Amino acid sequence: MGRRDMADIISTVEFNHTGELLATGDKGGRVVIFQREPESKNAPHSQGEYDVYSTFQSHEPEFDYLKSLEIEEKINKIKWLPQQNAAHSLLSTNDKTIKLWKITERDKRPEGYNLKDEEGKLKDLSTVTSLQVPVLKPMDLMVEVSPRRIFANGHTYHINSISVNSDCETYMSADDLRINLWHLAITDRSFNIVDIKPANMEDLTEVITASEFHPHHCNLFVYSSSKGSLRLCDMRAAALCDKHSKLFEEPEDPSNRSFFSEIISSVSDVKFSHSGRYMLTRDYLTVKVWDLNMEARPIETYQVHDYLRSKLCSLYENDCIFDKFECAWNGSDSVIMTGAYNNFFRMFDRNTKRDVTLEASRESSKPRAVLKPRRVCVGGKRRRDDISVDSLDFTKKILHTAWHPAENIIAIAATNNLYIFQDKVNSDMH
């Protein structure tokens, strides 16, 4: 894969709060925003489809001269700010720097200047005989994107998460060892609220893997670790939230213990439910639902691809065991979704306990076709369209997925392709 191809690899996907806009970030530092076309009777076939709205270069590659290392321009995360006026705003981050972007539309322009002509050239004053008031005339829609804030130099280690607070004034950014709190309007300082860096780096055994603010309580946030634990922290308790309010950890299953147990327990993503009552975590083989009121163990565990359990050594060898999959809730918190290998993604219905495996690929996704459930067979009876474990393509991994906040629309990033699937039949949440 040449460098140009690699730049197109999608590295993050995020719907805004209404679902009208969908942002993707890629390895080349670009952000592409899609907008949902309003449904219209005139063109029923393009009801609610997403078209490109704006594309801009968010981050550029940098070079850290002190360490002789490149800083990748890859966009790790995008988070939308709640919309407060006609403009849209989002935060995008690479490993080191977070940027606040403002997206505005311009669909009118003034015409009829007295001193300038249509092209902007100064008029010969002798030709001006009367005064006119310039009027706004409609023009083709122009989307303008501008960087409003750059939050730099806040992190020594690589940023893995950003999360906007429900107060809409602050946000946090987390790297491997620290979490910082920023004010959206202030770029030259941030407050450190979590620091797990040991005094002796030799003692380092655990890193922060993801973090998120509670959707309703602006003082609460959670962060996950490489040892599989979740820590819920209350910012009212202390300035430095090294002491958690709650620690969520599932005791290890001794019958499944191997040298890879810790690695597969590392949490790659954590998401609060829309209700704020639950948390969803993803580790290498499972997704788990946790109740905020119960720290001892998750209330639900779903197997994503348990057939990989016997292959952990090979997956360790080829580094796949370190892949960080994300997870997502649907709008009503009744269904959860996560990606897997071979361009498969999985959905689990929490109420019916049914699950489905679907594939995001051009061959199987003609427009308006219904996705066919897939199955991975692990020996024993093999049905016709089953895929055997050994023929799974581990280079085709779906790490990033997003669910529309209200409707059954999902966005799936499969390497450098974006798939958007809509459930037209069951458009309402159930």
Partner 1 sequence: MFARGLKRKCVGHEEDVEGALAGLKTVSSYSLQRQSLLDMSLVKLQLCHMLVEPNLCRSVLIANTVRQIQEEMTQDGTWRAVAPQAAGRAPLDRLVSTEILCRAAWEQEGACPAPGLGDGHTQGPVSDLCPVTSAQAPRHPQSSVWEMDGPRENRGSFHKSLDQIFETLETKNPSCMEELFSDVDSPYYDLDTVLTGMMGGARPGPCEGLEGLAPATPGPSSSCKSDLGELDHVVEILVET
Which residues are at the interface with partner 1 (CB under 8 A)? 67-72, 95, 156-158, 176-177, 200-207, 209, 226, 256-260, 262-263, 266, 309-320, 322, 389-395
Residue 284 · residue 338 · CB < 8 Å: no
Token duo for residue 13: 């996907």
- Distance of closest approach, residue 172 Cβ to partner 1, in angstroms: 18
37 vs 195 by CB, closer to partner 1: 195
177 vs 347 by CB, closer to partner 1: 177
Bridge-based pairing of strands 355-359 and 327-329 is unpaired
Residue 210 · residue 269 · CB < 8 Å: yes
- Distance of closest approach, residue 265 Cβ to partner 1, in angstroms: 10
24 vs 209 by CB, closer to partner 1: 209
- Distance of closest approach, residue 71 Cβ to partner 1, in angstroms: 8
19 vs 28 by CB, closer to partner 1: 28
Q: How many residues does the chain have?
A: 430
Residue 230 · residue 223 · CB < 8 Å: yes
- Distance of closest approach, residue 360 Cβ to partner 1, in angstroms: 18
- Distance of closest approach, residue 399 Cβ to partner 1, in angstroms: 14
Enumerate residues 6+ apart whose C-beta is below 8 A from 363: none
246 vs 311 by CB, closer to partner 1: 311
Q: Give the span between the Cα atoms of 374 and 384, in whole angstroms.
A: 11
113 vs 322 by CB, closer to partner 1: 322
Rg over alpha carbons for the chain, rounded to the nearest Å, is 24
124 vs 390 by CB, closer to partner 1: 390
- Distance of closest approach, residue 177 Cβ to partner 1, in angstroms: 8
Kindly list the distances between the CA atom of residue 242 and the CA atoms of 90, 198, 213, 287, in Å, as whole numbers in the listed order.
28, 12, 16, 26
38 vs 254 by CB, closer to partner 1: 254
Kindly list the distances between the CA atom of residue 120 and the CA atoms of 109, 123, 128, 140, 401, in Å, as whole numbers in the listed order.
13, 9, 15, 18, 47
- Distance of closest approach, residue 364 Cβ to partner 1, in angstroms: 20
Burial class (CB in 10 A: 0-12, 13-18, 19+), 344: buried
- Segment 306-312 long-range contacts (CB within 8 Å, at least 24 positions apart): 307/376, 307/378, 307/389, 308/284, 308/389, 309/256, 309/285, 311/389, 312/258, 312/260, 312/263, 312/264
Q: Give the span between the Cα atoms of 145 and 193, in whole angstroms.
A: 31
- Distance of closest approach, residue 13 Cβ to partner 1, in angstroms: 21
261 vs 422 by CB, closer to partner 1: 261
116 backbone dihedrals φ, ψ, rounded to 5°: -120, 150
- Distance of closest approach, residue 9 Cβ to partner 1, in angstroms: 15
Element (H, E) at 313: helix 312-317
80 vs 344 by CB, closer to partner 1: 344
- Distance of closest approach, residue 111 Cβ to partner 1, in angstroms: 51
Burial class (CB in 10 A: 0-12, 13-18, 19+), 416: middle
Token duo for residue 120: 């902007």
Q: Give the span between the Cα atoms of 307 and 292, in whole angstroms.
A: 30
Q: Give the span between the Cα atoms of 319 and 300, in whole angstroms.
A: 28
Amino acid at the residue 348 = F
